[in-house]
Amino acid sequence: MTTPTDRTPAPPGRRRTGLRLLSSLATAAFLTLAAVLVPAPPAMAAARVSASPATADPEYATKLRLHGAGFQSVKNGFGGVYVLFGTVSGDWRPSQGGTSGVDYVYVQDSETKDNHGYQRFVAFPGDPTAYAANGGTLRADGTWDATLVVPGAVFPAKGRDGGIRQIDCRKVRCGVITIGAHGVANPRNETFTPIDFAAPGGGGAPATKPARPTPSKTQHTKSAKPTPTATPSPAASETAAAPATPSPSATSSATPAVAADPVVSATSVSRTGLLVAGCAAVVVVAVILSALWLLRRRKRGATSVNSGEK
């Protein structure tokens, strides 16, 4: 005959089920704690380009000093980034199906290293075609520096059908275009940075007079407007040079300067926050274990009572 104080052990199957449940809950608690304490990978900064000066002369050639940041640099990768000047429309990006001559057009130039300066090639570090790069190398941190010549507010552009049409940047939005070089579409390196046109001494006001070169009109900082099919004169290469590093004051409202390339990382969580989250996870685990222990004691007590009644 059994007494109420006798303890009957739980069946093996029930014990295994309880252990599996306990193990599952402990694993879930551990994963929750790991998700809180392990930082997420840093967010990628969007590629962007700043220009100095921020405006171009509508009548004469202007040399822009460009600084790119946030670009994807592929070590020993093929190609790099083409830097162009032109206009875009709709879904112009090559990675989204944009087509040259239709969705984006630009000032034509040769792809040789010693071209007229209307088109630049920024190579990936270690790129096998880097010998033709006339815009330097895309650094490992995603930055690059190059110069680009803007011939004026009006330039001829070749369409998809091979026809030539005149682009007037006083009627359409023009700017600096960056795309993947050598036909390699790279969405992270596709940007468009608008450039305004302003007459010299106009206080930054948009130009209204025709962009026609006047041979008798000269300026000590500007040269006669070159055409994309002609070799610019020595004076054209000596156009007004801006500081090597673009400053915030040199940019326009449409093209805000980026003095640095800060990356707001998801790891910027305070130690106090991590400590609180860790303590909360430990408390959750302790509560679960206590509940399981109490439940198990109740089941054992019920089993003992039933045995005593028998």
> How is 250-282 classified by DSSP, letter by letter?
GS-SSS---SS-----TT---HHHHHHHHHHHH
Residue 261 contacts by C-beta under 8 Å, 6 or more apart in sequence? 45, 69, 70, 141, 142, 143
- b or e along 126-145 (b: 16 or more beta carbons within 10 Å of the residue's beta carbon)? ebeebeebbbbbbeeebbbb
- How many Å apart are CA 68 and CA 248, to the nearest integer? 14
Q: 68, 144 in Cβ contact below 8 A?
A: yes
Below-70 pLDDT ranges, the chain: 1-44, 201-285, 287, 301-310
Q: What 3-state class would DSSP assign to 144?
A: strand
What DSSP line would sit under 55-114, residue for residue? EE-SSS-EEEEEEEES----TT-S-EEEEEEEEE-SS--GGGT--BTTTEEE----SSTT
Cα angle value 76/82/119 (rounded, 5°): 135
Judged by DSSP in three states, 289 sits in helix
Q: What is the pLDDT of residues 193-221, one digit of tens each?
A: 999 999 876 554 444 334 444 333 333 33
Percent of the chain with pLDDT over 70: 54
Cβ–Cβ under 8 Å, residues 53 and 251: no
Q: Give the tens place of pLDDT for each residue, 100-159.
A: 999 999 999 998 899 999 999 999 999 999 999 999 999 999 999 999 999 999 999 988
Q: What share of the chain is helix, strand, coil (3-state, %, to 5)?
A: 25, 20, 50
- In this prediction, residue 204 carries a pLDDT of 46
Half-sphere exposure of 12 (CA within 13 A, CB side): 0
Give the gyration radius of the chain's Cα atoms: 33
Treating both helix axes as pointing N-terminal to C-terminal, what angle do 12-37 and 271-309 enclose, rounded to 10 degrees?
Answer: 170
Output the pTM of the full model: 0.55
Question: Does an H or E element contain 286, and which?
Answer: helix 271-309
CA angle in degrees (0–180, nearest 5) for 253-257-262? 135
